Amino acid sequence: MAIMVNLETNAGTVEGHTSVNVNKIDLIKNDGEVDIQFGFDAEIADGNYRTLKPEESIENIDYNVGTLYYKTASGTAAFRFWGRDVKVV
């Protein structure tokens, strides 16, 4: 059994965050025209983040994420996050 999380939203210059609670990231894709910084269970200001350039993506990784943080340096950018919490039965 798996619980799916599908998030399609915009990142802006004010840090946003969303509770996702997944252990498998199927896709994070920057659909915008500016870089997006993503923090996994850590605020961007903490300095522990991954930057995705426009059209870049992260796919198919096993990683526990409770809260996804996101932010741009300027402007806004759309992104998609697809993940799941795979339960071992």
DSSP codes, 9-64: EEE-SS-EEEEEEEEEEEEEEE-SSS-EEEEESS-GGGT--EEE-TT-EEEEEEEE
> What tens digit of pLDDT does each residue of 28-75 get?
999 999 999 999 999 998 899 999 999 999 999 999 999 999 999 999
- As a whole number, mean pLDDT of residues 8-27 equals 96
Give the pLDDT confidence score for residue 65 in this predicted structure: 94
Mark residue 60 as left, alpha or beta (left: phi above 0; alpha: psi -120 to 50; beta: remaining): left
Domains of the chain: 2-86 (2.60.120.10)
Instruction: Give the CA distances from residue 56 to residues 3, 23, 50, 68, in Å, rounded to whole numbers and listed in that order.
Output: 25, 21, 11, 17
Does pLDDT of 89 surpass 60? no
Whole-number pLDDT of residue 82: 97
- Main-chain phi, psi angles of 18, to 5 degrees: -145, 135
Q: Identify whether the C-beta of residue 46 lies closer than 8 Å to the C-beta of residue 39.
A: yes
User: Does 81 score more than 80 pLDDT?
Assistant: yes
Q: Given this model, what pLDDT does residue 87 score?
A: 72
Is residue 49 within 8 Å of 74, Cβ to Cβ?
no
Per-residue pLDDT, 3:
84
Query: Model's pTM, two decimal places?
Result: 0.91
